[in-house]
Chains A and B, each alone.
Chain A
Amino acid sequence: MDAFTTHTGTAAPLRRSAVDTDQIIPAEYLKRITRTGFEDGLFSALRRNEPDFVLNRPEHAGASILVAGPDFGTGSSREHAVWALLDGGFRVVISSRFGDIFRNNSTKSGLLTVLLPQEEVERLQAAVEADPALPVTVDLQDRAVSYSGTTVPFEIEDYTRWRLLEGLDDVGLTERHLSDVEAYEADRPSWLPRVLPVP
């Protein structure tokens, strides 16, 4: 996973609530077995059906920060939603509420999800609507979003922040504690279900 320290780019305001992961990437695009190449599926139904959809507007074409409405990424567990956003050029999504699984997935692939109060989200949306070229900086080191003289702090768990800053992969971290796993396994009752052998 790529490390995330700080990122500056332009932002796209997505003024819709409850954009579920089916909308971020519809099921028909989930058949690919690679981890990249999902940009064609990103918001594909919205882009097709709504000519005025924010990502169809040329002034937001190069945006790398998505400023979304509340409850972004609810629904299906598909990590493809995170991959599609990354493949589509996004490094950060800002919202006042995220779907749990989506947020968790984002931390595994280096997409930074930033929680801000709804009024801060709306203020930022208004700012980038007024000036689509406005540079926005998201600094994970300092835990702050800043643009045109405004700095808004955000919270993130220390552990998640550290992993993102270092670009560390979870499996490697857990493997440091394999002896704990072995000790736990030695104590599991024998009647617990086993898939193999086939009875």
Chain B
Amino acid sequence: MPKTLAEKVYEAHVVRRADGEPDLLYIDLHLVHEVTSPQAFDGLRAAGRTVRRPDLTMATEDHNVPTLDILAPIADPVSRAQVEALRRNAAEFGIRLAPMGDRDQGIVHVIGPQLGLTQPGTTIVCGDSHTSTHGAFGALAFGIGTSEVEHVLATQTLPQYRPKQMAVTVDGELPPGVSSKDIILAVIARIGTNGAQGHVIEYRGSAIEALSMEARMTICNMSIEAGARAGLVAPDETTFAYLQGRPHAPQGADWDAALEHWRTLRTDEDAVFDREVRIDAASLTPYVTWGTNPGQGLPISERVPDPADLTDEDERRAAEQALAYMGLTPGTPLREIEVDTVFLGSCTNGRIEDLRIAAELLRGRRIDPGTRMLVVPGSVGVKTQAEAEGLDRVFVEAGAEWRGAGCSMCLGMNPDQLSPGERSASTSNRNFQGRQGKGGRTHLVSPSVAAATALTGKLTAPADLDFTAQLETAGV
């Protein structure tokens, strides 16, 4: 039977299959962070259990951590208690932890790939829905709840039902200034936040193959926003080149053995997907969201939609609630929406390539005086690399704030939050109500739109800037 890549990875990890029961799936890598793990460790302790494979488990501090004064004790006592609980648990159960200040610390989905722990054909889980990020390497990677975290800690396995298979094929060439973030925002706008429910999405096609690993991670990251269980991309030379030489990548003869296996990780030609969606890359433009879920997005050249135009009653009610929360009037051109804050960071777009793209637009320019811009590298590794390239100076000279690594304003568990009514352009993945702080209003954008927006104070595409520059040169 021809199989999809996701089916191959899944089948290779079935430990036990029995009629009328879920499959028992082996987990190659378990990533742990402070928010979704304390109750799981408590469960282990209460039952007198140990961690079965500490050597396949890695912990980091990311969701709660401040991005200023990172070596001082965390000021918020509740956040501090949570981080301290993780430190105690990691020590007690013999798990490697990257604490604040460590060179390996960072957002869990940034450090896995960076360390070379994220590898093709593996199964990866974490108590975090954006674990799908790791699918960019051809891994089957998905988010789990705290009870499942406990289950994986104790047994290194998970009971699972076979997911359905979906293909999102993106062919053609992306226009300049359009990025992988725009691809995924367009996909979600097209299929809706439940469009891929119960499915694993394989992203394929010439436009996906042309993307860097960072860009592929951005797409896989947001699979969950389309309701998918996971998202992945078949590994190729780009993947292997990214991995080679990373601290945990196989070396020497192991590398050759791994490579031989990795090259087999492709969907069979006549494999059948339960659902297929095709997108023409050349037709895409920068996307921004106007509402309170990631499916409520449009090309930046459009206007805020009028709920009255929506025929589906449910969608209309959702749009009305969204616009009321967002404080937006139907018909307003998206380009005229003024923002207070620009957030560049998160596990969606907090990688070195994202920072480079934004820095390129900001170089030698000043951000709008009424706008604050927060640049939060996804990990200490990204931060160090960016500083070595001088990107931090570009940001600071442009008037942006250069911060320490963590989740930061993606979800506002640390002090980086929007105040009520404040509006942001954010490179993160969720524009849910209150996600970036109580009453905060979020527009999801790509790194280049974030940088362009910081320069003008309004939602802006990079191409708009070039146009202005051209007009200036032409003396208009």
Residues of A at the B interface (CB closer than 8 Å) are: 16-18, 20, 22-23, 26-28, 30-35, 45, 49, 69-71, 74-80, 82, 97, 99-101, 104-105, 108-109, 157-159, 170-171, 173-175, 177-178, 180-181, 184-185, 188-196, 198-199
Chain B residues with CB under 8 Å of chain A are: 15-16, 20-22, 24, 26, 28-29, 35-36, 38-39, 42-43, 47, 49, 54-58, 63-64, 76, 78-79, 81-82, 85, 95-96, 116-119, 122, 127-129, 143-148, 150-151, 154-157, 159, 161, 193-194, 197-198, 224-225, 227, 229, 247-250, 254-255, 257-258, 261, 293, 314, 317-318, 321, 411-413, 430, 432-435, 438-439
A28, A69, A77: which contacts B144 (Cβ < 8 A)? Answer: A77
Contact present for A181 and B15 (CB under 8 Å): yes
CB neighbours (8 Å) of B161 from chain A are 157
| Contact assessment for B433 and A22 in the assembled complex, using a CB-CB cutoff below 8 Å | yes
Question: Of all chain A residues, which has the CB nearest B28?
Answer: A192
Q: CB-CB < 8 A to A49: which residues of B? A: 439
Task: For A180, list chain B residues within 8 Å (CB).
Answer: 15-16, 24
A33 x B39 contact (CB < 8 A) = yes
Q: Interface centre among A26, A69, A100, by most B CB within 10 Å? A: A100
Q: Are A100 and B198 in contact (CB under 8 A)?
A: yes
A-B contact pairs, 18 of them (CB 8 A): A18-B293, A18-B318, A31-B64, A31-B78, A31-B413, A69-B314, A70-B314, A75-B225, A75-B432, A76-B430, A99-B227, A100-B198, A171-B155, A193-B28, A193-B118, A193-B248, A193-B250, A194-B56
CA distance A29 to B143 in the complex (A): 20
Beta-carbon contact of B293 and A20 below 8 Å:
yes
Least distance between A79 CB and chain B CB atoms (Å): 4
In the complex, the answer to whether B54 meets A196 with C-beta atoms within 8 Å is yes
B413 touching A28, Cβ below 8 Å: yes
B28: chain A residues at CB < 8 Å are 192-193
Contact B193 A101 (CB under 8 A): no
Decide: B117 and A195 in contact? CB cutoff 8 A: yes
**B323–chain A nearest beta-carbon distance, Å:** 15
Among the listed B95, B128, B432, which residue makes an inter-chain contact with A77, where contact means beta carbons less than 8 Å apart? B128
Residue among A16, A18, A193 making CB contact with B193, cutoff 8 Å? A18
- CB-based nearest A residue for B156: A181
Residues from chain A with Cβ under 8 Å of B155 in the complex? 171, 174-175, 178, 181
Q: By the criterion CB–CB under 8 Å, are B197 and A100 in contact?
A: yes
> Which of chain B's residues have a CB closer than 8 A to the CB of A71?
193-194, 227
Q: What is the bound-complex CA distance between A180 and B248, given in angstroms?
A: 27
CB pair A30–B413 under 8 Å, yes or no, is yes
In the bound assembly, the distance between CA atoms of A178 and B117 in angstroms comes to 25
Partner of B151, one of A97, A109, A158, A171: A171
Complex: chain B residue closest to A26, CB-CB = B434
Least Cβ–Cβ distance between B474 and chain A, in angstroms: 47
Contact A195/B145 with A20-B293, A97-B194 known, Cβ cut-off 8 Å: no
Inter-subunit contact A191/B321 (CB<8 Å): no
Interface centre among B39, B58, B229, B321, by most chain A C-beta atoms within 10 angstroms, is: B39
Task: Closest B residue to A35 by CB, please name it.
Answer: B39
CA distance A184 to B54 in the complex (A): 17
Q: Which of B55, B143, B293, B314 contacts A101 (CB 8 A)?
A: B143
Return chain B residues, CB-CB under 8 Å to A193: 28-29, 56, 116-119, 122, 248-250
Nearest CB in chain B: distance from A88 CB, A: 17
Chain B residues, Cβ within 8 Å of A188:
26
Q: How far is the CA of A173 from the CA of B154 in the complex (A)?
A: 12
Q: Nearest CB to that of A82 among chain B residues?
A: B145
Residues of A within 8 A of B150 (CB): 171
Contact A195 B79 (CB under 8 A): no
Residue of A nearest to B89 (CB): A33
Which of A70, A71, A158 has the most chain B CB atoms closer than 10 A to its own CB?
A71
Q: Once the chains bind, are B157 and A181 in contact (CB under 8 Å)?
A: yes
